[in-house]
Structure 1
Amino acid sequence: MKSNTKPRSGLNERRQAFVQAYLSNGHNATQAAISAGYSPKTAQEQGSRLLSNVMVRAMLATKAEEVAAVVELETARTLRHVACVSYSDIGQMLDEQGKLIPIPKMAPEVRAAIKSIEFDKDTGGVTKIGLWDKNAGLEKAMKHHGLYERDNDQRREDLSLQIVLVGASTGAIERGVLDSEGARQPPRQDGRAPH
């Protein structure tokens, strides 16, 4: 027996339009939903729903891989550049006399830390070198290693401990409703307050 249901090609086209708009607009799901033809009134909800859709997530992953391949964006290479900025040492740009090493003679990892170069308009010599923000590089490296997640988990534990301690009034402890650590005690069978 044949099914009378047609494939929802319009839905798939909308999903594809959403994916394309999402990747091109800086990952704004609401605006991508509007671009894909959803109502501005429901675009935020639709964008969120589409991002949780398995098919949309697969399309996003495929497109992201395609883009990365085209621009030769590689995780290992990106992390190497983050490391170059994070661990940069201005001393590696200077010779024994404290003079700037000619830029073409600097090691590639040293050059990777350079953000800008200013030249003297008369002599063509380098007058100023700007470096990428080392703290920003270290922050990116820390995020990559999950160090902020660990820090946030530790803070959540501290916060829950503070809530328990603040919530544990001395009267509740004295009445036996809470133990000394702020945990609720089970009720007694005789109906009296626990001790």
Structure 2
Amino acid sequence: MDLNATQAAIRAGYSEKTAGQQGFELLKKPEIEAALAEAQAERSKRTQIDADWVLMRLASEATADLADIIDENGSIRPITEWPIIWRQGLVAGIDVQEDLVEGVKTGETVKLKLSDRIRRIELIGKHVNVQAFRDQVHNTGAVTLNVTQEDAEL
């Protein structure tokens, strides 16, 4: 499952010209929605990745301590000594420049580019619905009740 409605419509035999619209329309059908939900639930079970896993991972990444990859001299530890959370995506890039004097290495400069932790915090905020990143929250205080004819007759 590629989660692409247009490609699914093409595979189902719709023309490429109309596949985008057909895919959009097919996604509205209750039986299609149910089949997708079931397939996604099976995939989550199979991969053992669900909303809890994502939230726990984001929290671990957002709170990882930079001191875990720095030694007592202020140098960056070898990657093999880093906690796994740092090795799995918190560092977006490493640039190592050797300092040479007459062709002999006298030292090196290591620069780390850290991935965007603020983005992780935003994702956590959206997941737990704290409304921390909305520009404006509008609350009218209005309450809507749906009353059927049958209810009204009671």
Structure 1 length as normaliser, TM-score? 0.51
CA–CA separation in structure 1 for the residues paired with 2:12 and 2:131: 35
CA–CA separation in structure 2 for the residues paired with 1:135 and 1:40: 40
CA RMSD of aligned residues (A): 3.5
Q: In proportion to residue count, which structure has more helix? A: 1
Query: Structure 1 pair 126/44, CA: closer, same or farther in 2 (3 Å)?
Result: same
Count of residue correspondences: 132
Q: Which has the higher contact order (CA 8 A, sep 6+)?
A: 2
Instruction: Tell me the percent identity.
Output: 29
CA–CA separation in structure 2 for the residues paired with 1:37 and 1:106: 51
Q: What's 2:71 paired with?
A: 95
- 1:24-77 deviation digits (Å, cap 9, x = unpaired): 1xx332343233212445434432232122211121122223333443324333
Matches within 5 A, 1:125-140: 127-140=110-123
Structure 2 residue runs without a partner (length 5+): 99-104, 141-154
2:11 is equivalent to residue 35 of structure 1: yes
Structure 2 length as normaliser, TM-score? 0.61
Q: In proportion to residue count, which structure has more strand? A: 2
Query: Structure 1 pair 117/69, CA: closer, same or farther in 2 (3 Å)?
Result: farther
Shift of 1:98: 0.9
Q: Is the Cα–Cα contact under 8 Å of residues 85 and 133 in structure 1 kept in the other structure?
A: no
Quick one: which of 97, 102, 105 aligns to 2:81? 105
2:121 is equivalent to residue 145 of structure 1: no
Task: From the CA coordinates, give the structure whose radius of gyration is larger.
Answer: 1
